[in-house]
Amino acid sequence: MLARVAGVLYERRLTELVGGNMSLRVDDAVVMTPTKASEERGWRLAAGDTLVQRLDGELLIGEEAMISREIRIHMRLYRTFPEVGCVFHLHLPEAIAAAVARWQPGVVADTSEPHGAAVVVLERDLRAQTEPHDARAVELLGQVSRADGAIAIGSMHGTFGVARDLATNVRVADVFRQRLEADLLRARLRRVRAGGVA
């Protein structure tokens, strides 16, 4: 199921071919897309391409070399928030543009309104795949409601979406992107009406 959803997310423009990964908790194990699923496979995955790893780190299915370097933050999110059943690391250009242009680091929305998910923004100087980055993402996501999904935005690293299940995380990513696109279009239209450049 996760392999098919990865392709659907790409087709719906919810991620790009520049990285990202997805995982799904099943009891005490995590099913995860392999490293470079975007760059080398174009998100075209078969069920046998996914990896299965226990929450304690033991690899059950797949090859060690195929584990994404992002596994650390996925596992940390699952262990910290037992209600989270799905994590997406996506590259949504609209989210990064909004985070850089108008949102300050911290909590932007602590519930799903008005963006379709609770939203937090990490500080711009946090490097991806580092302990400070991962700790800050977990800290900020701990300050918001995750019931209807939540998204952490790293201005240099894409988004981390958490939700109770796969279907909710897909909906959250889709609604979030649509609302951000609409916001960006409204802002552009206001500039045009004011005589500015679009």
Q: What is the CATH number of the domain that holds 36?
A: 3.40.225.10
Does 166 fall in a domain?
yes
Backbone angles phi, psi at 99, to 5 degrees: -65, -40
24 to each of 53, 107, 161, how far by Cα in Å?
A: 11, 25, 12
Separation CA 130–CA 194 (nearest Å): 43
For residues 156 and 88, give the distance between their C-alpha atoms in angstroms, rounded to a whole number: 16
Q: What are the tens digits of pLDDT across the range 71-109?
A: 999 999 999 999 999 999 998 877 877 777 778 899 999
Pairing of strands 150-154, 158-163: antiparallel
pLDDT, one tens digit per residue, over 132-170 is: 999 999 999 999 999 889 999 987 788 999 999 999 999
Q: Residue 116 — left, alpha, or beta (φ > 0 → left; ψ -120 to 50 → alpha)? A: left
What does the block give as tokens for 140?
Answer: 């900020």
The domain of 120 spans 2-193
Q: How confident is the model at residue 196 (pLDDT cuts 50, 70, 90)?
A: low
Q: Is residue 198 in some structural domain?
A: no
Around Cβ 39, how many Cβ atoms within 10 Å?
13
**What are the percentages of helix, strand and coil residues in the chain, rounded to 5?**
35, 20, 40
Domain count, the chain: 1
Domain contains 137: yes
Residue 126 lies in a domain: yes
82 in a domain, yes or no? yes
99 domain residue, yes or no: yes
3-class SS of residue 110 = coil
The pTM for the full model equals: 0.90
Whole-number CA gyration radius for the chain: 17
Confirm whether 118 is domain-assigned.
yes
The mean of the pLDDT values for the chain is 89
What would the mean pLDDT of 17-26 be, rounded to a whole number?
A: 90
